[in-house]
Chains A and B, each alone.
Chain A
Amino acid sequence: MEHGADGAGLIELFATAPAVVLIDATRSGAAPGTVQQFDAAAGPLQADLFHYSTHRFGLAEAVETARALGDLPARLVVWGIEGADFGPGEGLSASVDMAARALVTRLKEEMGPW
Chain B
Amino acid sequence: MTERVIEVNELARVEGEGALYVRLNGRQVERVEFKIHEPPRFFEALLRGRDAMEVPDITSRICGICPIAYIMSSSQAVEDATGVAVTPDIHALRRMLYCGEWIQSHVLHAAMLHAPDFLNLHDAIAIAQVNPDLVKKALRLKKAGNMLMEVIGGRAVHPVNTRVGGFYKAPSRQAIAAMIPELDWGAQAAREVALAFAGFTFPQDETDYIFVSLIHDTLYPICEGRIGSNRGLDIPASGFNDHFVEEHVARSNALQGRMRDGSPYLVGPLARYANNYHLLSEAARQTARDCGLGEVERNPYKSILVRMVEVQYAFEEAARLARAYQEPSPAFIEIPHRAGVGHACTEAPRGICYHRYEVDAQRRVVMAQIVPPTSQNQPQIEADLARVVAANLDMDDAALQWRCEQTIRNYDPCISCATHFLKLTVERV
Instruction: Give me the interface of A with B, judged by CB distance under 8 Å.
Output: 4-6, 8-9, 11-12, 53-57, 61, 64-65, 68-70
Contacts and interface: CB of A to CB of B under 8 A. Distances in A.
Contact of B125 (A5, A6, A53, A64): A64
B319 interface: no
Given A9-B156, A54-B12, A57-B112, A70 B125 contact: no
Interface of B: 10-17, 64-65, 108, 112-113, 123-125, 128-129, 132, 135-136, 139, 142-143, 146, 156-157, 414, 421-422
Given A53-B15, A54-B14, A68 B125 contact: yes
Nearest to A62: B125
Contacts, number: 58
B389 to A, nearest CB: 22
A5 B421 CA distance: 19
26 contacts: A4-B157, A5-B64, A6-B64, A6-B156, A8-B112, A8-B142, A12-B139, A12-B143, A53-B15, A54-B11, A54-B12, A54-B13, A54-B16, A54-B421, A54-B422, A55-B15, A55-B16, A56-B65, A56-B108, A61-B125, A64-B125, A65-B124, A65-B135, A69-B128, A69-B132, A70-B132
Contacts of B65: 55-56
A86 B139 CA distance: 29
Nearest to B113: A55
Contacts of B421: 54
A64 B125 CA distance: 6
Contacts of A8: 108, 112, 139, 142
A4 B16 CA distance: 17
A53 B132 CA distance: 23
Contacts of B146: 9
A55 B13 contact: yes
B16 A68 contact: no
Given A11-B139, A53-B15, A54-B13, A65 B157 contact: no
A69 B96 CA distance: 31
B40 to A, nearest CB: 11
B132 A68 contact: yes
Given A8-B142, A55-B113, A65 B16 contact: no
